[in-house]
Amino acid sequence: MRREVTLRDVAELAGVSSRTVSNVVNGYANVTERTRERVQRAVEELGYRPNVLARNLAQGRSGQIAVVVPYLDTPYFSELLQSVIRAARISGYNVLIDQTDGDAEHERGFIAHGSRRLLFDGVIFSPLGLDQRALADRDPALPLVILGERASDGSFDHVGIDDVAASRQATEHLLDLGRHRVAAIGDQPYATGEAAQLRTQGFREAHTARGLSIREDLIIGTARFNRPDGARAMADLLDRGDPPDAVFCYSDLVALGAIHTILARGLRVPEDIAVIGYDDIEDGRYSNPTVSTISPDKEWIATTAVERLLLRIGSSTPPPGLELRAPHKLIVRESTTGRASRP
């Protein structure tokens, strides 16, 4: 029978003390990033699992964290959740997942006073229905990490990407290809549409930096970042007398919907209309044509969110909230150039 792997086994393999391993698996901050990575590799290699039950009983915790997202059918969130679950498991935590559908009252229930009666120790939360003001009215004792575009008020951490810079880069790619009538699909000019608004800002900045005028009629709003909305918006653009020759879509799902409409109308991608998306979901790598996109580092987002949440759970004096920006990169594929770039 195989002997149970101990914390000391992990320490020996990683070349650190048992206390250091304990600090890593409990999410404490006083460990360098290089040491943390070495310990995590040893944990994965040995298959070490902390004695979660004993630890939680001693500390009065449930050993569970909640991850709250608007939609589980959105590939971006499903891919992100896989990374969150892996990162939490290394530290011995289970993950409770909830879909809010953007319902403000449902979202409020996770951060309201006394919300931990639902048996979780902290929340990684991607709000859609709650705006910045609503987030301020929450249980201050609840360990909280926010994903998306609701900035930290100093009492929680915010993990996201620079949507303005990423969207500017996507738009610049289309302009660099010599496209002159660039449209944008996905604007959401209302209180909870911050992500879309930041992407529109980046779209505008790319034009302004080159002294190009912006055609307001080519900025199309959508209710969600999904395929049907992308398809409908593209149909609207094509029904006009002067359709675009390129489109920046605010998600890869929107891009897939737009491409479907373009091809159904007998036009070519990218020869007639170049299309770029956002999120780098797996579907875009296998579509025909493959989808050029902005690729946020989802693994970095997930790992950082879990580490910061566990730090808050394990601290008697919560650290100040941080604004943490994930790396992103432009991935050029067939939908803009007719060919995929080498990995």
Question: What's residue 32's pLDDT?
Answer: 83
Beta bridge partners of 324: 159
Question: What's residue 315's pLDDT?
Answer: 81
Going along the chain from its start, the domains and CATH numbers come out as: 51-161+297-326 (3.40.50.2300), 163-296 (3.40.50.2300)
Indicate yes or no: pTM above 0.95: no
The whole-angstrom separation of Cα 58 and Cα 284 is 47
Question: What's residue 52's pLDDT?
Answer: 55
Question: What's residue 228's pLDDT?
Answer: 97
The DSSP string of 155-204 is SSEEEE--HHHHHHHHHHHHHHTT--SEEEEEE--STT-HHHHHHHHHHH
Residues in the chain with pLDDT < 50?
1, 53, 343
Residue in 8, 2, 38, 4 with CA at minimum distance from that of residue 22: 8
